[in-house]
Amino acid sequence: MSTTAENIQRQIGENPILIYMKGTPQLPQCGFSAQTVQALMSCGERFAFVNILDNPDIRAELPKIANWPTFPQLWVEGELVGGCDIVMEMHQNGELEKLVKEAAARANAEQADDNA
């Protein structure tokens, strides 16, 4: 059986665009998660999410691994981008869409190579 830390590393490694949030993209359970997921959805790319309210072990462990105490947390290509304030600032200045689209394009290219 894998540990919580191993599960988190696997999730981050397997999902080029991943948000750890309270609730789901369709039903966020906090205002910060709602704002962050809306900014992410506006980029028009698919992303994965983990509802930390359903995963108390991840909710407890991830801040230690990420060295980031709050949620939501946006991870792109294995790197922590940040929480709500950082994501919203990036969204407003156009950086978020560029980052997300580039990550999605690389992931799609890798997937195409794997299927070739």
What distance in Å separates the CA atoms of residue 6 and residue 11, rounded to the nearest whole number? 9
Whether 101 has a binding-site annotation, put simply, is no
| pLDDT above 80 for 115 | no
Q: What is the pLDDT of residue 114?
A: 78
Q: What is the pLDDT of residue 18?
A: 98
Whether 85 has a binding-site annotation, put simply, is yes
- Strands, DSSP E only, in 52-109? 73-76, 79-82
User: Domain count of the chain?
Assistant: 1
Is 52 contained in some domain?
Answer: yes
Is 110 contained in some domain?
Answer: no
Domain encompassing residue 78: 4-104
Whether 46 has a binding-site annotation, put simply, is no
Is 36 contained in some domain?
Answer: yes
Q: What is the CATH number of the domain that holds 51?
A: 3.40.30.10
Dihedral angle over CA of 94, 46, 7, 26, nearest 10: 90
Whether 84 has a binding-site annotation, put simply, is yes
pLDDT (mean) for 39-53: 97
* Paired tokens of 31: 């205002």
Three-class secondary structure of residue 24 per DSSP: coil
| pLDDT above 90 for 99 | yes
Is 114 contained in some domain?
Answer: no
Is 94 contained in some domain?
Answer: yes
